Structure 1
Amino acid sequence: MVSTAIILSSCDTSTNGKLPILGQREAVTKIVDGKSVTDSVYQTIPDFKFISQYGDTVTAKTLDNKIYVADFFFTSCPTICPKMKVQLKRVYERFKGNSNVMLLSHTIDPAHDSVAVLKEFAQNLGVMSRQWLFVTGDRDKIYDIGQNSYMVTAQADSSAPGGVVHSGAFILVDKAKHIRGIYDGTTEAGVDKLMNDMDRLLAEDKP
């Protein structure tokens, strides 16, 4: 027999020195050897299908066996996006060539940010590798995964500069697709903390 219950608390507060796991968790109770055993099953990033600046399909499988940093932006953003991309470029340079690390930037203005626009944007940033992917796709699916999976704001708002409201957060995701941290992507201090936590997360896989 298996029973489940959704726990709405935000994280694992274990004291084992590892980064917490953020998001919802589900308590799953099983009968093992005649005894009731309860385990926690944590929220994970679901499968998705978007298109990169190279024109190929990017899915959750593309990120298998990687830790990655996700964010949401749009190329014509007049407010926080330029700051975010300066900071995420620091992460890119810091971990460039590390096969265990990827960056995933989702446009929230897919009507404008075509594959060609994203490719030019990436090139102007000096990004020439597939370690940092800029993805576009169905707007509703992008907004949905932002708000319901990555736990950040991403929505149209005609009163906002650029017509879109979105979070300036960078989201750190582990190899099991669990969220392990959310950081202010507009500040040097926030991104310093992110890079430190990326080192900690990479170290978790080492014997």
Structure 2
Amino acid sequence: MPLRLLPFLLVVFVTLSCEQKDTLPILSKAENADGQTVYKAIPDFTFINQDSQLVTPATFEGKAYIADFFFTSCPTICPIMSQNMLGLYEAYADEPRLAFLSHTIDPARDTVAMLKHYATNLGVEDQRWHFVTGPKDSLYAIADDYFNVVVEDPTLPDGFDHSGRFVLIDPRGYIRSYCNGTQPNEVEAFKKDIENLLHEMENPDTAH
């Protein structure tokens, strides 16, 4: 092969590699404005994390993050979700552009100290994963924006009913992907969407 062709082939290879990345759709709530689809970002919020620090959208400036809803005394799906989220947290240990946000749905019992204990037991020791609490109304209202179902149900043994979704949010506050956080196969497939979003963040011209 003539050496003069190598630069050309390298450009073709890089181009094809980039084209293999899928552009994720925006899955956020939307409304029609003058014939245009306008997507709604996750609304402003202020919660407090396991280290007594305020967590707001500014906490995730320039970052993507994965959100879920749980409570520390949950005996059913939450332990499974936490372990699967921990797997993602560990898989992206060297990726500063990806953060994690877990909201309690039981703020009466999940104090800052309880959330700290829970995070420590999982092995979370840095500021990439925030376990947050706040006013119950605020927590339950924002769950709907993340397409998570959260309700109190006294007929259930643990008193709550909630979905186990992991939701991927881009730096603009838009939902780009989600999966069932209790299903390891779905969480594994979810990684591809995370990779695609991180690639998009490197190449903003590919964004919606």
Q: TM-score, normalised by structure 1?
A: 0.85
Query: 1:99 deviation in Å?
Result: 1.3
Q: CA RMSD in A?
A: 1.3
Return the match for 2:143 from 141, 146, 157: 146
Q: Distance in 2 between matches of 1:24 and 1:45?
A: 9
Instruction: Name the structure, 1 or 2, with higher relative contact order (CA <8 Å, separation 6+).
Output: 2
What is the CA deviation profile of residues 70-97 of structure 1, one whole-angstrom value per residue up to 9, with x for unaligned ones? 0000000010000000100000001113
Amino acid at match of 1:26: E
Corresponding residue pairs, total: 183
Q: What does 1:78-117 correspond to in 2, within 5 Å?
A: 78-117=75-114
What is the CA deviation profile of residues 84-123 of structure 1, one whole-angstrom value per residue up to 9, with x for unaligned ones? 0010000000111311000000000011100000001000
Higher helix share: 2
Q: Distance in 1 between matches of 2:156 and 2:169?
A: 29
Query: What is the aligned partner in structure 1 of residue 170 from structure 2?
Result: 174
**Which ranges of 4 or more aligned residues in structure 1 deviate by more than 6 Å?**
none
Amino acid at match of 1:82: P
Higher strand share: 1
* Ranges in structure 2 where 5+ consecutive residues have no aligned partner: 1-20, 204-208
Q: Counterpart of 1:162 in 2: which secondary structure?
A: coil
Query: What is the aligned partner in structure 1 of residue 26 from structure 2?
Result: 21
The answer on whether the counterparts of 2:22 and 2:196 sit within 8 Å (CA) in structure 1 is no
Query: 1:190 deviation in Å?
Result: 1.1
Query: 1:26 deviation in Å?
Result: 2.4
Q: Distance in 2 between matches of 1:71 and 1:56?
A: 19
Q: Distance in 2 between matches of 1:61 and 1:71?
A: 18
The answer on whether the counterparts of 1:110 and 1:136 sit within 8 Å (CA) in structure 2 is yes
Q: Which of the two has higher C-alpha Rg?
A: 2
Q: Distance in 2 between matches of 1:158 and 1:50?
A: 26
Corresponding position: 1:56 with 2:53: yes
Query: 1:131 deviation in Å?
Result: 0.1
Q: TM-score, normalised by structure 2?
A: 0.85
The answer on whether the counterparts of 1:95 and 1:101 sit within 8 Å (CA) in structure 2 is yes
Q: Distance in 2 between matches of 1:118 and 1:128?
A: 12
Q: Distance in 2 between matches of 1:48 and 1:179?
A: 16
Corresponding position: 1:39 with 2:44: no
